[in-house]
Amino acid sequence: MGSSGFRHHHAAALAAGLACAAAITASLAAQVVRIDGAGATFPNPIYSKWFAEYNKLHPQVQINYQAIGSGGGVRQVEARTVFFGASDMPLTPQQIQATGGRLVHLPTVLGAVVPVYNIPGVHGELKFTGPLLADIFLGKVVKWNDGQIARLNPDVALPAADITAAHRADGSGTTYIWVDYLSKVSAEWQARVGVGPSVNWPAGVGGRGNEGVAALVSQVPGAIGYVELVYAVQTGMKYGLVRNAAGEFVRGSVASVNAAAAASVARMPPDFRVSITDAPGPGTYPISSFTWLLLYQSPDDKTKARAMADFVKWALTDGQKYCAELGYGRVPEAIVPLELAVLERISTS
């Protein structure tokens, strides 16, 4: 072969090699599946853990999640600007109708919403009843040494300090859980305020996200607020016991949340849209709730659909082992097969 022929052959081989490399790179890039979701802050710690652990097992699947609150997540999934949503409140019949019934609710974990407080000089656990919490957030109980609080906590030296009630300023599933409970235990709350991800608060100050409420309570002496149990534990905040339907004062914990979940199994509807606040039975924590992933029944991108379905199967089975260490309750074992059956009906091909 002459020098010109060699050069021509070498150039052709180089071009072919570059084309092959480019094809391989394109193929690898095509194999990376990026899935975007948004919604509740309540499950963000466990979801972040799950997405990271699943990515270790499946590096080609990258799940990105924005913890913007349940209200924002529902709006984004309704508008199809994300592939999945996450919410601490089930969609209303009107919302389901607005999406043409195209969304599936799948419970992933359970959590507790706890009353956190910052009372200088008070270090013990306070006891609360539902009606008392309602009266505090209605603005009817305004001092920490009020008789309602003192009678429940006779061994605590309560100061004559003002109470500042901190609540969520954004549309929030955590708020929904909190006011869903208050509406069940206080007729006045039900009549004056009601239930929803956003309500017209009669009193108090607002913060964005569980983090925002936790920060407000930490910074304002005399403040009380409500946050997901994980946030209280992670920040070392004091939180109180709440009297349940059985008359017991119960601390929010994995065990008491699991007890509330167990009480819900017999009345779980086919679409998994159930409230378990003020659950019956001993040992139940009364402000407990499932949190849900919202998935499209017939997603447009089937590659993402297959990846997301596989992730959810993993989360409902192997992924549940991470719940307790992060302060969440597991989905009851009796419910998992029902969810997997619904997952099988999602169109992935």
Assess whether 105 and 121 both reside in one domain: no
- Our count of domains for the chain comes to 2
Q: Are 304 and 346 in contact (CB under 8 A)?
A: no
Choosing from 267, 282, 299, the residue where a domain stops is 267
The string of DSSP codes covering 156-180 is S----PBPEEEEESS--HHHHHHHH
Assess whether 337 and 237 both reside in one domain: no
d(CA 36, CA 126): 41
24 found inside a domain: no
14 found inside a domain: no
Assess whether 133 and 152 both reside in one domain: yes
The alpha carbon of 227 is separated from its chain's Cα centroid by a whole number of angstroms, namely 11
Q: Are 285 and 256 in contact (CB under 8 A)?
A: yes
The reported pLDDT for the residue numbered 227 is 93
Phi, psi of 149 (to 5 degrees): -75, -40
d(CA 316, CA 336): 7
Q: Are 298 and 274 in contact (CB under 8 A)?
A: no
Pick from 280, 279, 288: nearest CA to 330: 288
The reported pLDDT for the residue numbered 318 is 97
The strand pair at 223-228 and 164-168 is best described as parallel
User: Where does the chain show beta strands of DSSP type E?
Assistant: 33-39, 61-67, 84-87, 103-118, 127-128, 164-168, 205-207, 223-228, 238-239, 241-243, 249-250, 288-296
The reported pLDDT for the residue numbered 287 is 98
d(CA 270, CA 341): 11
The reported pLDDT for the residue numbered 223 is 98
Q: Are 259 and 281 in contact (CB under 8 A)?
A: yes
Low-confidence ranges of the chain (pLDDT < 70): 1-30, 100-101, 349
The reported pLDDT for the residue numbered 128 is 98
d(CA 274, CA 97): 18
Q: State pTM to two decimals.
A: 0.85
Q: Are 241 and 285 in contact (CB under 8 A)?
A: no
Assess whether 57 and 139 both reside in one domain: no
Assess whether 131 and 224 both reside in one domain: yes
In eight-state DSSP terms, residue 303 is: H
- Walk across the sheet containing 241-243 and list its strands: 127-128, 241-243, 249-250
306 found inside a domain: yes
118 found inside a domain: yes
Assess whether 116 and 61 both reside in one domain: no
339 found inside a domain: yes
The reported pLDDT for the residue numbered 1 is 54
Choosing from 234, 267, 300, the residue where a domain stops is 267
Assess whether 256 and 304 both reside in one domain: no
d(CA 162, CA 297): 50
7 found inside a domain: no
Q: Which residues contact 252 (CB under 8 A, 6 or more apart)?
A: 112, 113, 114, 229, 232, 239, 242, 285, 287, 288
Assess whether 161 and 205 both reside in one domain: yes
Assess whether 335 and 305 both reside in one domain: yes
Assess whether 93 and 186 both reside in one domain: no
123 found inside a domain: yes
d(CA 128, CA 135): 11
Structural domain span for residue 35:
30-109+291-344
Assess whether 116 and 252 both reside in one domain: yes
Assess whether 223 and 149 both reside in one domain: yes
**Separation in Å, CA 158 to CA 151, 152, 166, 218, 289:** 11, 11, 19, 18, 31
The CATH number for 141's domain is 3.40.190.10
349 found inside a domain: no
The strand pair at 223-228 and 205-207 is best described as unpaired
